[in-house]
């Protein structure tokens, strides 16, 4: 039976006492892609990662990793996954090299291979110079990289990264992004959680938006943005052309058009910005108005997220 998904979670429910951390989450992650799990603090991201990586038993539901049932064959799953948890879990008193070699031994890899792989990773992650220093001397970014390295020792098929860049400075964050992108080109399937929309936007092919233990939206970043349907076309014209422009555009586009007299700005809300902006240009051209500015604004993922969570909170 060929399995289609690197990760396949079906209706996962997890209760901690009376807290419903996960309230029926289903997720399908493609092979060789980055799947983003986006959500605010407390939305259930870590809980889901822990269930998918065999650390927690779900109250209900089922997870398959590379077609293997996590609940039934946890050790089989552990052999093909890597996990870098929310906090860089490296021992202060071990050196970077010792950390990686210890993990290699716990995967029961041959000694030679452990040495080779550790060197390789230390080099890839830019930790060669610090390899034989105790990690208590490492910076936050170095600890993160080492922690990521530890999750890569056995060359996992499926990699779980729980907020890999939280608390890092922008430069180090970009560094981690490029490491993650590099892993994807090598064929690793990655599930990554984040609170940062631009991170999901930059890395994830498909994303799931989680709020209060439920998936409230899913899709590519593009499809999430367009599902909001609030592209905005803005036109700035001369003061005396405002009324004429508004009249013509209203007629031809059959849309409400708002005017801001002070800034001489017309705003058109549309579902299909890229097509409509051409229409607007054509209409203005026909009535011989040369706009000073003509622009299209697409919602950022932040806008999408705000509107999604606002709706939910409203309904709740």
Partner 1 sequence: MLNKSVNAISDTYVLAKRNVKRNFRVPQLLIFSSAQPIIFLLLFNFVFGGAVAGTSEEKYIFFLLPGIMAQIALFGSIQTGVGLAEDLNKGVIDRLRSLPITRSAVLAGRTFADSARNVFVIALITIVGIILGFRIEQGYAKFFAAMLLVLLFAYSFSWVSANIGMWLKDSETVQVAGFLWVFPLVFASSVFVPVATMPSWLQGFAQNQPVTQVVNAVRYLAVGGVPNGQHYIYATILWSLGIIAVFAPLAIRMYRKIQ
Q: In this chain, which of 12, 34, 38, 88 binds partner 1, going by CB under 8 A?
A: 88
Cβ atoms of 65 and 81 closer than 8 Å: yes
Q: In three state form, how does the secondary structure of 247-288 look? A: HHHHHHHCCCEEEECCCCEEEEEECCHHHHHHHHHHHHHHCC
> How far is CA 118 from each of CA 22, 44, 273, rounded to the nearest angstrom?
37, 33, 50
Determine if 43 is a binding residue for ligand ADP (CB under 6 A): yes
Closest distance of CB 63 from Mg ion, Å:
18
Choices 83-91, 119-127, 231-239, 291-299 (CB under 8 A): range interacting with partner 1? 83-91
In angstroms, rounded to a whole number, what is the distance separating the alpha carbons of residues 175 and 256?
45
For the CB of residue 68, give the shortest distance to ligand ADP in the complex, in Å.
23
Helices (H), the chain: 45-52, 74-78, 96-106, 111-124, 140-152, 170-185, 197-203, 221-228, 242-253, 273-286, 301-315
Print the binding letters for residues 29-68 with Mg ion: x by CB under 5 A, - otherwise. Answer: ----------------xx----------------------
Alpha-carbon Rg for the chain, nearest whole angstrom, is 25
With contacts defined by CB under 8 A, name the span among 62-70, 99-107, 168-176, 213-221 that binds partner 1.
Answer: 99-107
**Stretch near ligand ADP under the rule CB under 6 A, chosen from 24-32, 43-51, 120-128, 170-178:** 43-51
CB atoms within 10 A of CB 145: 29
Nearer to ligand ADP, 21 or 249 (CB): 21
Q: How far is the CB of 101 from partner 1 (least distance, A)?
A: 9
List the interface residues with ligand ADP, window 7-36 (CB under 6 A): 16, 19, 21
Please state, in angstroms and as integers, the Cα–Cα distance from residue 252 to each residue in 140, 225, 287, following that order: 57, 26, 12
Q: Considering only residues 19, 60, 87, 258, which one is a binding residue for partner 1 as defined by CB under 8 A? A: 87
In whole angstroms, the minimum distance from the beta carbon of 29 to partner 1 comes to: 17
Quick one: which segment of 30-38, 93-101, 246-254, 267-275 binds partner 1 (CB under 8 A)? 93-101
Q: Which of residues 11-40 bind partner 1 (CB under 8 A)?
A: 16
End-to-end CA gap in the chain: 41
| Whole-angstrom distance, CA of residue 210 vs CA of residue 309 | 9
- Note the residues at the interface with partner 1 (CB under 8 A): 16, 50, 53-56, 75-76, 78-79, 81-83, 85-89, 91-94, 98, 102-103, 105-108, 134, 150-151
């Amino acid at each position: 039976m060929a399995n289609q998904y690197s990760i396949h979670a079906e209706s996962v429910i997890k209760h901690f006492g009376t807290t419903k951390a996960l309230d029926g989450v289903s997720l399908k992650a493609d092979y060789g892609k980055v799947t983003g799990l986006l959500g605010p603090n407390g939305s259930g991201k870590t809980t889901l990662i822990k269930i998918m990586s065999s650390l927690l038993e779900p109250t209900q539901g089922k997870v398959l990793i590379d077609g293997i049932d996590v609940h039934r064959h946890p050790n089989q799953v552990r052999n093909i996954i890597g996990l870098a948890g929310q906090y860089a879990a490296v021992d202060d008193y071990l050196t970077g090299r010792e950390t990686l070699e210890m993990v290699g031994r716990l995967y029961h890899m041959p000694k030679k291979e452990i040495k080779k792989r550790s060197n390789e990773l230390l080099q890839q992650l830019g930790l060669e110079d610090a390899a034989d220093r105790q990690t208590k001397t490492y910076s936050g970014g170095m600890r993160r990289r080492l922690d990521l390295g530890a999750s890569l020792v056995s060359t996992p098929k499926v990699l779980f990264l729980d907020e890999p860049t939280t608390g890092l400075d922008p430069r180090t964050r970009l560094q981690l992004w490029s490491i993650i992108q590099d892993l994807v080109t090598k064929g690793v399937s990655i599930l990554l959680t984040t609170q940062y929309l631009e991170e999901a936007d930059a890395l994830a092919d498909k994303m799931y938006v989680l709020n209060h233990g439920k998936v409230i939206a899913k899709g590519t970043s593009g499809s999430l943005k367009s599902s909001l349907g609030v592209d905005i076309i803005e036109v700035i014209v001369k003061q005396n052309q405002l009324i004429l422009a508004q009249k013509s555009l209203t007629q031809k586009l059959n849309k409400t058009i708002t005017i801001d007299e002070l800034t001489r700005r017309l705003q058109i809300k549309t579902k299909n910005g890229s097509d409509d902006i051409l229409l607007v240009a054509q209409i203005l051209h026909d009535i011989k108005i040369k706009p000073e500015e003509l622009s299209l604004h697409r919602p950022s993922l932040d806008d999408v997220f705000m509107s999604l969570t606002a709706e939910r909170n409203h309904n709740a």
